[in-house]
Amino acid sequence: MADAKYFSTTKKGEIHELKLELNAVDKSKKKDAVKKVIAAMTVGKDVSPLFPDVINQMQTDDMELKKLVYLYLINYAKTQPDLAIMAVNTFVKDSQDPNPLIRALAVRTMGCIRVDKITEYLCDPLHRCLKDEDPYVRKTAAVCVAKLYDISAELVEDRGFLDMLKDLLGDANPMVVANAVAALSEIQELGGKPVLDLTLGTVSKLLRALNECTEWGQVFILDSVVNYMPADAKDAEAVVERVLPRLQHANAAVVLSAIKVILRNIQYIGDESVRTALLRKLAPPLVTLLGSEPELQYVALRNISIIIQAQPSVLANDVKVFFCKYNDPSYVKMEKLDIMMRLVNERNIDQVLLEFKEYATEVDVDFVRKAVRAIGFCAISIQSAAERCINVLLELIQTKVNYVVQESIIVIKDIFRRYPNRYESIIGTLCDSLESLDEPEAKASMVWIIGEYSERIDNADELLEQFLETFPEETAAVQLALMTATVKLFLKKPMEKPQQLIQLVLTYATQETDNPDLRDRAYIYWRLLSTDPEAAKDVVLAEKPTISGAQDSTDPALLEELLRELGTLASVYHKPAASFVSKMRLAVHRADDLAAAAVRGSQNGEPEMTSVVVVEASQAGSAPTAIAAPAAMPDLLGDLLDVRAPAGAMSAAPDLPVVFGEDKGKGVVLRAALTHAADAYILQMSVCNLSMDVPIEGPLLIQFNRNALGLAPASQSVSLDAVLPGATAVVCVPLVQRQELVAPDQGQVLQVALKFPRADVGVLYFASPIASNVHL
Amino acid sequence: MLSQVFLLSPRGDTLIFKDFKGNVPKTSTETFFRKAKFWDGEGRDAPPAFTVDGVQYLHVKVGGLYWVASTRENVSPSLVLELLLRMYWICRDYFGYVSEEMVRKNFLLVYELLDEIIDYGLPQNSSTERLKQFIMMEPVAVKQRLGGGGRAGLKLPGGATGPTEVIKSVLDTDRTGAKEEIFVDIVEKLTAIFDASGHQKSSSIVGAIQIKSYLSGNPPIRLGLSENLILGRRDSRMQQSSAYGSDTDVVVLDTYSINEGVDAERFGAERVLELAPPDGHFALMNYRSSRSFRPPFRVYPLVEDDMYAGDKLTLYLRLLAEYPASKTASGVEVTVPLPRSVQRVHCETDAPNESKLLALPGRGAFEQSAEWRERERKLVWSIKNLRGGQEHTLRCRLTVDQGSIESTKRDYGPIMVQFVLPGKPSASGLDVRYMKILKDEKNYAPSRWFRVVAMANSYQIRPH
């Protein structure tokens, strides 16, 4: 029987037909019907009207059918919370079933139903299952604690589930230990505060379980242990000792996490010889990772780039393993090239150069360009090989492949700057390919070379004249380069032709162009030349500092952070985690609620509301009025914990900018601004009730996203006296500043979510600018 | 950890979608597909991890499908990618092979598997073996299109799979009492670079011992590897090996990793791998060797000027199969990129005319073809089956732009060779000396299949 056939019915009255089938007497017919329902569900059809009929099938001994019903239940419970309650009894009963599979299934599924009403009933079964005799049930229950925490953190703390979870860290079964660690990490992430305190005792418990548990469990454990601060060198060595065998593991994630732990603990080991020996052990597993699937190779390569910047000795002799294969995906090739550039040295330069040359003849244009740049990099960083590199570049220019020539000229310009007065003999060759240049950067480089060496190029004036023909159409970079080159030419060869040229350029640049940079520079040259040509020579033809060959390495502070984040996405993006991980949990959860409400609404015939309302107050527009003078509410500052103004006091904050307007159709207008006084931040808000008949009542729930100042509300709950229809109330929310919430990349804006108890208002999102004068 | 996991068809249709946390919008499948499909507008592959609007997308592309996970956290990408690849292998173990049709037909089973593999975004149980006790549904078989699976298996990017795939669900043995058997494959992917005179400039081998087990009750097995095996450059046996005299008698693996079920110390001491093989596919050992090997193929290019025409060149490619006549390579493909100056190409293989006429479909041992793919600017010469010791020559007449004779001679290449070459000995010399199935039962004689395969990873001839 093929499941695919369940997709085939699309007739009208399908729901009705399914309903009949679900209520059939024949068991196999019922099961088939449930499968059809789920097939419809997965292709996005709304089969929620069948909720009671499907739930009726839940009490069955048939595991397969039970699982199917649960699949349906998880999907629709949210939109049918009242009906979902019907399922509770079966869940509670199942959680005491003699079959451990059924017990685990019940507790796993219950945790996936995010309905507040069900959550209360979940506590008792969960409590039982955490102490179950069967490890499969215990490990499932451990994860369920994290699920519950996501729905209701208070409940988890009140019912002591956190402590039970911590007890499981000492469980006899390693899978249970691993899941307990994973659940605790998950809770830590959700709550934003540490729950797992790593003592020597906990760590050795975890490490004991390490050998026995699944590969994923090993990663959970290693990623927790990495946060352990060893008390002394002996401690650190003991941890490393336990972790070392993991380097042989076939799973790339285990290897990378193990390397992270080792690198972290190595810092605490004083003995230089032990450290060197350990570092030496890291190379083979890293090399092995390059034999895996390209996706995994890519992750490994990005991490290797970080590791060798911190510990250059690790792979110093292994440049060969990074040679590109022609069938590597381009994202792998680019990374390999990057690492080869970091590993190249006087001993291996010949080999590496040969590779680069080969890459420069491939078809992938970006890869070819990078290869040419790599050759230039070798020339600049390894003095003894500069000549060989230049010869390779000249060979490449001979190929006349347009982008290869242009890229070569760009790097040759840098080589000239690195080694002045050594390789100018090749200028003749470069001049042969003038016609093919069409990219601004290459043009600018060539023009720079002509200007710099105009005294050695006999026909420099003619060459520049050629370029000048299209002067008005060039990009700003080329125009600037052309102007400077012409001035250099004139100063070096003060003859008739250069003089004509310079007049042409300066006239155009001062009179015709709109580009202020170009115009200003032209004026400077003009004045210099007309007042004192000798001084002009000193300025324009001054000795230039030679450039160094340092590769663009990662900023040390960032590198430090990336080392800590080894094996995570941060290490792949080479960006700190805070720059791409946003604390969006609150917003999206509430968005879910809204979506569910919308579905409920649409069933009652109301228009469907599909998108979540998020308001971004334009920073520029509201900035001038953004700040209410701190003095405006002096009396409020004394009472930070519960600050409020009487209802209707619209005039108390007349100049707050509107952050959530009437046009959003919520019947509420919000004004808000961030102010500070007496070393504390306050969010001033005014709530205006536009509705005709319903008052708005408190308390409101408030939460911020991470922001540049690390601000958070002192209390999540904001009390608010009932705001009568048409009235306005002013609320001041005292804020606290917390270092761990600082996210400088979030920009000068404060993103706020505000939940109203009234369901039709729900959650409002707005953003309030953080003006520069509020900074303390 | 993970917010969602989903499977997309090559056209972006959602085949499987599972949400764990509800903190990523449901439109993520579309967001992902648009970004991945049109990564840079030039057909280059998207990297396996990228971010869109604060959501992190990780994916692998195997079995012709996108296997994707989304999250908002700073997760371990290796863990996620390994997990997605594992999901692919589990599906393969259950269905025999993976395709869009297969997933569509078995979507309920995939959901059931997913429920066990991942709970609340946390990877749980990912061994085919252990999953069996929790999975109730039966896989639905899809009739294989002739010749589809085997070749498709070969083309999997990165997956070191053998040439002849066993298409069989792990459930068959236990539930239907199908034949008990175990497959042991040594799969080695060769990388080599030769210069125009055939000198081997660099070489390396990435290999794996892969096992596919269909033994009921999972009795432990013991594999004895070559005695002369040297593990790592600092192996103590390395020092002794100079005492053996000749260097060629030893097998050296620079780095290796072994399955976690194996006692690593015993392997180090005795070169014996012992474990209870889980059901389905798994890698017993992965390794890498940088020692040079006897190249199975050599290609000698030669370019001749035309005496009469100033715009013509003749390119000769001589291909030598330098392995014993007892072996036959399949899917041999020689590719030569030609520069833009080449306008027209006319190829002539050396297949005798009568054999072209007589060659019956599927039987032609000589079957060769050569074609000029103008859009890719590649000359592709393929030979279906090539027995050891044979030699073939391809003659190509190139018509080039006026005055670009010299640059054409300089700019063609590098020449790439693809092949699949089954048969002992392996390129690294690694061998399984014996395999014992440790089960005390009379008349227990499951079939054992042992194969060695060499494949091209990056096999290049640089003519300049």
The DSSP code sequence of B112-128 is HHHHHHEETTEE----H
Say what the pLDDT of residue A624 is: 36
Say what the pLDDT of residue B306 is: 80
Is the model more confident about A665 or about A183? A183
Give A61→chain B minimum CA distance, Å.
Answer: 12
Is the model more confident about B18 or about B227? B18
Say what the pLDDT of residue A552 is: 67
Give B378→chain A minimum CA distance, Å.
Answer: 11
User: Is residue B123 one of the residues assigned to a domain?
Assistant: yes
Residues B287 and B301 grouped into a single domain: no
Say what the pLDDT of residue B362 is: 45
Is the model more confident about A171 or about B147? A171
Cβ-based contacts of B1 with chain A (< 8 Å)? 182, 186
Is the model more confident about B87 or about B175? B87
User: Is residue B148 one of the residues assigned to a domain?
Assistant: no
Question: Could you tell me the two tokens for B430?
Answer: 């690694």
Query: Is the pLDDT at B143 greater than 70, yes or no?
Result: no
Say what the pLDDT of residue B2 is: 92
Instruction: Say which of A251, A296, A581 has its CB closest to residue B74.
Output: A581
Give Cβ neighbours of residue A191 (< 8 Å, ≥ 6 apart): A149, A153
Structural contact between residues B123 and B83, judged by C-beta atoms closer than 8 angstroms: yes
Say what the pLDDT of residue A593 is: 47
Is the model more confident about A623 or about B127? B127
Interface test with A, best of B19, B204, B257 (most A CBs within 10 A): B257
**pLDDT digit string, tens, across residues B189-220:** 999 988 888 888 888 898 999 888 888 778 88
Instruction: Say which of A291, A296, A327 has its CB closest to residue B81.
Output: A296
Cβ-based contacts of B79 with chain A (< 8 Å)? 216, 219, 251, 253
Query: Is the pLDDT at B364 greater than 70, yes or no?
Result: no
Nearest to A566 by CA among A293, A263, A131, A178: A263
User: Is residue B464 one of the residues assigned to a domain?
Assistant: no
Highest mean pLDDT range out of A194-208, A278-292, A599-613, B248-262? A278-292
**Residue linked to tokens 């069989």:** B168
Angle at B23 between CA A155 and CA B88, to 5 degrees: 110
**pLDDT digit string, tens, across residues A328-337:** 898 999 999 9
Nearest to A263 by CA among A557, A559, A563, A562: A563
User: Is residue B463 one of the residues assigned to a domain?
Assistant: no
* Cβ neighbours, 10 Å, residue A471: 18
Q: Considering chain B, what percentage of its residues have pLDDT values greater than 70? A: 85
Amino acid at B100: E
**pLDDT digit string, tens, across residues B449-463:** 888 999 998 899 988
Instruction: Say which of A3, A189, A589 has its CB closest to residue B105.
Output: A3
* Cβ neighbours, 10 Å, residue A285: 22
- Which chain B residue's Cα is nearest to A41? B17
The DSSP code sequence of A661-711 is -GGGSSSEEEEEEEEEETTEEEEEEEEEE--SSPPB-S-EEEEE--BTT-E
Residues B114 and B263 grouped into a single domain: no
Angle at A226 between CA A223 and CA A229, to 5 degrees: 150
Question: How many residue pairs from chains A and B have C-beta atoms closer than 8 A?
Answer: 232
Confidence of residue A6 (pLDDT cuts 50, 70, 90): low
Here the ipTM equals 0.71
Residues B307 and B372 grouped into a single domain: yes
Say what the pLDDT of residue B363 is: 45
User: What is the arithmetic mean of pLDDT over A212-219?
Assistant: 90
Rounding to the nearest 10 degrees, give the CA dihedral for residues A401, A405, A407, A410.
Answer: -170
Give A247→chain B minimum CA distance, Å.
Answer: 8
Residues B158 and B280 grouped into a single domain: yes
User: Is residue B462 one of the residues assigned to a domain?
Assistant: no
**pLDDT digit string, tens, across residues A417-471:** 888 888 888 888 888 888 888 889 999 999 999 988 888 888 888 888 888 888 8
Instruction: Say which of B202, B257, B414 has its CB closest to residue A249.
Output: B257
**pLDDT digit string, tens, across residues B292-347:** 888 999 999 988 888 777 788 899 999 999 998 888 898 899 999 888 888 888 88
8 Å CB contact of B47 and A331: yes
Say what the pLDDT of residue A663 is: 67
Residues B13 and B123 grouped into a single domain: yes
Question: Mean pLDDT for chain B?
Answer: 81
Query: Is the pLDDT at B153 greater than 60, yes or no?
Result: no
User: Is residue B137 one of the residues assigned to a domain?
Assistant: no
For the sheet with B391-400, list strands across it. Answer: B297-305, B312-321, B391-400, B342-348
Say what the pLDDT of residue B45 is: 85
Residues B325 and B375 grouped into a single domain: yes
Residues B288 and B432 grouped into a single domain: yes
Cβ-based contacts of A287 with chain B (< 8 Å)? 254-255, 288
Cβ-based contacts of A294 with chain B (< 8 Å)? 48, 157-158
Q: How far apart are CA B174 and CA B182, in angstroms?
A: 14
Query: Is the pLDDT at A643 greater than 50, yes or no?
Result: no
Structural contact between residues A716 and A704, judged by C-beta atoms closer than 8 angstroms: no
Cβ-based contacts of B275 with chain A (< 8 Å)? none
User: Is residue B73 one of the residues assigned to a domain?
Assistant: yes
Say what the pLDDT of residue B457 is: 87
Residues B435 and B287 grouped into a single domain: yes
User: What is the arithmetic mean of pLDDT over B416-420?
Assistant: 91
User: Is residue B226 one of the residues assigned to a domain?
Assistant: yes
8 Å CB contact of B264 and A216: no
Nearest to A72 by CA among A57, A92, A93, A90: A57
Is the model more confident about B155 or about A733? A733
Say what the pLDDT of residue A322 is: 93
Residues B162 and B112 grouped into a single domain: no
Query: Is the pLDDT at B151 greater than 60, yes or no?
Result: no
Residues B288 and B433 grouped into a single domain: yes
Say what the pLDDT of residue A550 is: 59
Give B441→chain A minimum CA distance, Å.
Answer: 30
Nearest to A129 by CA among A137, A118, A121: A137
Residues B216 and B363 grouped into a single domain: no
Is the model more confident about A421 or about B17? B17
Instruction: Say which of B120, B158, B255 has its CB closest to residue A294.
Output: B158
Cβ-based contacts of A126 with chain B (< 8 Å)? none
Residues B185 and B125 grouped into a single domain: no
Is the model more confident about B211 or about A586? B211
Instruction: Say which of B104, B112, B259 has its CB closest to residue A4.
Output: B104
Say what the pLDDT of residue A135 is: 92
- CA distances (Å), B90 to each of A178, B61, B97, B109, B132, in order? 22, 15, 10, 11, 11
CATH number at residue B50: 3.30.450.60
- Which chain A residue's Cα is nearest to B113? A67
Instruction: Say which of A223, A298, A588 has its CB closest to residue B47.
Output: A298
Interface test with A, best of B42, B122, B405, B407 (most A CBs within 10 A): B122
8 Å CB contact of B264 and A358: no
**pLDDT digit string, tens, across residues B170-188:** 666 555 556 788 888 899 9
Interface test with A, best of B19, B56, B74, B407 (most A CBs within 10 A): B74
Say what the pLDDT of residue B359 is: 44
**pLDDT digit string, tens, across residues A472-493:** 888 888 999 999 999 998 888 8
Domain boundaries, position B71:
4-131
Confidence of residue A646 (pLDDT cuts 50, 70, 90): very low
Give B391→chain A minimum CA distance, Å.
Answer: 25
User: What is the arithmetic mean of pLDDT over A714-734?
Assistant: 78
CATH number at residue B315: 2.60.40.1170
The DSSP code sequence of A403-444 is HHHHHHHHHHHHHHHHSTTTSGGGHHHHHHTGGG--SHHHHH
Domain count, chain B: 3
Give Cβ neighbours of residue B357 (< 8 Å, ≥ 6 apart): none
> What is the radius of gyration, based on Cα positions, of chain B?
25
Say what the pLDDT of residue B163 is: 38
Query: Is the pLDDT at A545 greater than 80, yes or no?
Result: no
**pLDDT digit string, tens, across residues A345-371:** 999 999 999 999 989 988 788 899 999
Instruction: Say which of A101, A146, A253 has its CB closest to residue B120.
Output: A146
Q: Please state which of the ranges A107-116, A679-688, B239-248 shows the lowest mean pLDDT.
A: B239-248
Say what the pLDDT of residue A301 is: 95
Query: Is the pLDDT at A122 greater than 90, yes or no?
Result: no
Half-sphere exposure of residue A337: CA atoms within 13 angstroms, side-chain side: 26
Question: Mean pLDDT for chain A?
Answer: 81
Confidence of residue A216 (pLDDT cuts 50, 70, 90): very high
Nearest to A594 by CA among B81, B369, A586: A586
Say what the pLDDT of residue A642 is: 41
8 Å CB contact of A249 and B126: no
- Which chain B residue's Cα is nearest to A320? B202
Interface test with B, best of A216, A397, A405 (most B CBs within 10 A): A216
Question: Could you tell me the two tokens for B181?
Answer: 């058997």
Give B34→chain A minimum CA distance, Å.
Answer: 18
Say what the pLDDT of residue B216 is: 79
Cβ-based contacts of A398 with chain B (< 8 Å)? 410
Is the model more confident about B249 or about A293? A293
Cβ-based contacts of B284 with chain A (< 8 Å)? none
Give B278→chain A minimum CA distance, Å.
Answer: 13
8 Å CB contact of A216 and B46: no
Say what the pLDDT of residue A614 is: 36
- Which chain B residue's Cα is nearest to A570? B74
E strand or H helix at A379, and its extent? Answer: helix A365-381
Q: Is the peptide bond before A576 cis (omega within 30 degrees of 0)?
A: no
8 Å CB contact of B120 and A251: no
Cβ-based contacts of A216 with chain B (< 8 Å)? 79, 83, 122-124, 126
Query: Is the pLDDT at B136 greater than 60, yes or no?
Result: yes
Say what the pLDDT of residue A664 is: 67
8 Å CB contact of A186 and B120: yes
8 Å CB contact of B22 and A215: no
8 Å CB contact of A584 and B60: no
Cβ-based contacts of B111 with chain A (< 8 Å)? 71
Question: Could you tell me the two tokens for A244?
Answer: 């070392």
Query: Is the pLDDT at B84 greater than 90, yes or no?
Result: yes
User: What is the arithmetic mean of pLDDT over B421-434?
Assistant: 87
- Which chain A residue's Cα is nearest to B262? A249
Q: How far apart are CA A217 and CA A202, in angstroms?
A: 16
